[in-house]
Amino acid sequence: MRIPRPLTDLIESFQRLPGIGPKTAQRLSYYLLHVPQSELDDFSDAVVNLKKNTVICSICKNVSESQPCDICTDISRNKSQILVIEQPLDLLAIEKTGKYKGTYHVLHGSINPLDNIGPDEIYISDLLSRVSQSLSEPEALRAGGQSQVTEIIIATNPTMEGDATAMYLNKKLKIENSKLEITRLGMGIPTGADLEYADEMTLTQALEGRREMSQGE
């Protein structure tokens, strides 16, 4: 039996999404076939507006509706701390703990030579520039009500790629300023896990138990 072309196109579109195989793609497509047209229109509008109505924050690279984002413009946040994470979902997980009051920097990935992802393919240079500017212009920052960056908390995932990214960042940041405190999340996150799936207690313990990274790490 030949599947109608509109269904085939939708199934193939779903299959391009991470974690969705052929069977799931088929189930989703046939489910949407029975959804009222008004709901399909709303779904379609949400997809169309996804990139139209969002921006990447010019400072922290998080996904936002405003430029800069709400966290970067929040005067109550501790601007002397930057927590470096791989994905926007990691930010949401950490914010749920309510224990971190600093700022963020989202890399949108990690160094992975097997997938041809090097430092230039993620937002590492933006982080280095951000820190460098803070360290070189402390007077201007204070005049603008901001704080000089004193601590970088590296919260990349405890995977081979995440650890490689952490080591690269540590080396590069130490070159910028040897007095800059660079820490790594403490124990609690299982090796090979993603931050976005960790529970709030585990993330809180990891933040509180962060350790300073040595020059060789």
- Given a cut of 60, whether residue 216 has pLDDT beyond it is no
Same domain, 91 and 28: no
Secondary structure (3-state) at 104? strand
Q: Is the pLDDT of residue 146 over 90?
A: no
- 33 and 107 assigned to the same domain: no
Domain co-membership, 35 together with 86: no
Whether residue 28 is found in the same domain as residue 74: no
In the chain, the N- to C-terminal Cα span, in Å, equals 59
Tally Cβ neighbours within 10 Å of residue 26.
17
The pLDDT confidence band at residue 44, using thresholds 50, 70 and 90, is: very high
In a domain, 208, yes or no: yes
User: Is pLDDT of 143 > 50?
Assistant: no
Is residue 18 situated within a structural domain? yes
Q: Are residues 106 and 25 in the same domain?
A: no
Number of domains in the chain: 2
In the chain, what percentage of residues exceed pLDDT 90? 64
Residues 38 and 71 placed together within one structural domain of the fold: no
Residue 31 and residue 103 in one domain: no
- Inter-residue contact 14 to 24 (CB < 8 Å): yes
**195 is a domain residue:** yes
What's the pLDDT score for residue 179? Answer: 78
Whether residue 116 is found in the same domain as residue 31: no
Of 14, 31, 52, the one marking the end of a domain is 52
User: 112 and 199: one domain?
Assistant: yes
Domain assignment present for residue 144? The answer is: yes
- Asked if residue 185 belongs to a domain, the reply is yes
96 lies in some domain? yes
Domain identity same for 129 and 40: no
Which band of pLDDT confidence, cut at 50, 70 and 90, is reported for residue 10?
A: very high
Confidence of residue 144 (pLDDT cuts 50, 70, 90): very low
Domain annotation covers residue 217: no
Residue pair 117/109 in contact (Cβ under 8 Å)? The answer is yes
* Ramachandran angles phi, psi of 139, nearest 5°: -65, -45
- CATH of residue 95's domain is 3.40.1360.10
CATH number of 17's domain: 1.10.8.420
Confidence of residue 2 (pLDDT cuts 50, 70, 90): confident
Q: Give mean pLDDT, residues 139-144.
A: 50
Mean pLDDT of 51-64: 95
Q: Ranked by mean pLDDT, which of 83-92, 174-183, 198-207 comes out on top?
A: 83-92
Q: Are residues 166 and 122 in the same domain?
A: yes
Burial class of residue 142 in the structure, from the number of CB atoms within 10 Å of its CB (0-12 exposed, 13-18 middle, 19+ buried): exposed
Residue 139 banded pLDDT, cuts 50, 70, 90: low
User: How does strand 181-184 pair with strand 211-212?
Assistant: antiparallel
Domain encompassing residue 25: 5-52
Indicate whether 124 and 165 sit together in one domain.
Answer: yes
